[in-house]
Amino acid sequence: KKDTYILGIETSCDETAVAIVKNGTEIISNIVASQIESHKRFGGVVPEIASRHHVEQMTIVLEEAFQESNLNWKDIDAIAVTEGPGLVGALLIGVNAAKALAFAKQKPLIGVHHIAGHIYANRLEKEFQFPLLALIVSGGHTELVLMKEHGRYELIGETRDDAAGEAYDKVARMLELPYPGGPHIDRLASEGEASIDLPRAWLEDDSYDFSFSGLKSAVINTIHNAKQRGESLKKEDIAASFQASVIDVLTTKTVKAAKNYHVKQVIVAGGVAANKGLRTALTEKFAETDIPLLVPPLRLCTDNAAMIAAAGTISYEQGKRSGMDLNANPSLLL
């Protein structure tokens, strides 16, 4: 059987990324140009700045992806691009680059859902076993997705308000930590004690949904009340207590869903999957079950284009193609 090489493009937020993936499982090249430095002083991603950076970086990153690969355009079978969800202006740069390249090089075009990409980042490590449960925890998403076969996704739970990463970033801002705050909270948490009592939003008994806005408010109130009493709480302890609450809910619901749906594999995806506390807690909890847990290496947790190429490979093999009318869709459903 002939090998399949898919070129992936990702520009949904603040990383300009291009990658080439072989057979949906092997990274040939994976280039990510991060814009974090440009957004840091604003305390978050500024959409207009993100779009402009994508325009500047796209051809450079594309060239690098080919240089690192020793491949030529003639080797590429199709172009996969994130069509949504994400920042519309940022998505448009990737989608238009992909369309221009597909037209110029006469290659099939495949639109990919960003979350499908995060899920398929795991297949670059290990082959999937179905049924599979994916916990997606990123800056924009917190979801539990059940997969019974390649390319089909059943949403069994999602956040009703903030995403986990969003909660991390907001709490980090209260603690005056730099953007993005997730990694800083993670580090502080390892140095503190989870000594502050913070709520856990379990929601209804049978629900796999999440909610983090109450926790975020509780952290604000805790800091505020301590200040009024003239006490000062240690940032490390706030971080540890906040992280303990997030991890408690995420791991408990994931284990419950994995058992209930009798899955053969659990995978974790998205930027918050880089969280050391979460990785440890999930590993420990699943060690008590007979369900294998797959946690991607850090570089595949955060946004990249290898994951988009990996997910695009499945669409390619299933004969799915996008037309030249492919458009960025900031609220695309999985």
Stretch that binds ligand KG4, among 98-106, 195-203, 225-233, 265-273 (CB under 6 A): 265-273
Cβ pair 39, 45 in contact under 8 A: yes
Task: Please state the residue numbers annotated as binding site for Fe cation.
Answer: 114, 118, 303
Q: Give per-residue burial for 281-302: e unless 16+ CB within 10 Å, then b.
A: bbeebbeeeebebbbbeeebbb
* Residues 170, 216 contacting (CB under 8 angstroms): yes
In whole angstroms, the minimum distance from the beta carbon of 268 to ligand KG4 comes to 11
Q: Closest distance between ligand KG4 and the C-beta of residue 3, in Å?
A: 29
Residues 162-221 touching ligand KG4, rule: CB under 6 A, are 165, 168-169, 180-183, 186
3-class DSSP state for residue 318?
A: coil
CB 157 within 8 A of CB 209: yes
Q: How many residues belong to the site for Zn ion (CB under 5 A)?
A: 2
Tell me the residue length of the chain: 334
* Under rule CB under 6 A, residue 94 binds ligand KG4: no
Q: Does 303 bind Zn ion (CB under 5 A)?
A: yes
CB-nearer residue toward Zn ion: 236 or 303? 303
Closer CB to Zn ion, 116 or 249, in the complex: 116
Helix axis angle, 213-228 to 164-174, nearest 10° = 10
Q: Which is nearer to ligand KG4, 108 or 192 (CB)?
A: 192
Partner in contact with 186, chosen from ligand KG4, Zn ion, none, beta carbon below 5 to 8 Å by kind: ligand KG4
Name which of ligand KG4, Zn ion, none residue 183 binds, using a CB cut-off of 5 to 8 Å depending on partner kind. ligand KG4
Cα 32 from Cα 300, distance rounded (Å): 11
Q: Which does 10 bind (CB under 5 to 8 A by kind): ligand KG4, Zn ion, none?
A: none
Q: In this chain, which of 51, 82, 302, 322 binds ligand KG4, going by CB under 6 A?
A: 302
DSSP type of residue 322: B
Nearer to Zn ion, 14 or 186 (CB): 14
Shortest Å distance, C-beta 241 to ligand KG4? 15
* Contacts to ligand KG4 from residues 130-149, by CB under 6 A: 138-140
Q: List all residues 6 or more positions away from 94 whose beta carbon is below 8 Å from its beta carbon.
A: 9, 10, 11, 12, 54, 58, 81, 82, 328
Count other Cβ atoms within 10 Å, centred on residue 190: 14
Residue 138 binds to Zn ion (criterion: CB under 5 A): yes
Question: How many angstroms separate the first and last alpha carbons of the chain?
Answer: 30
Q: How far is the C-alpha of 215 from the C-alpha of 224, rounded, in Å?
A: 14
What does the binding site for Zn ion look like in residue numbers (CB under 5 A)?
Answer: 138, 303
Under the rule (CB under 6 A), what is the footprint of ligand KG4?
A: 13, 138-140, 165, 168-169, 180-183, 186, 270-272, 274-275, 302-303
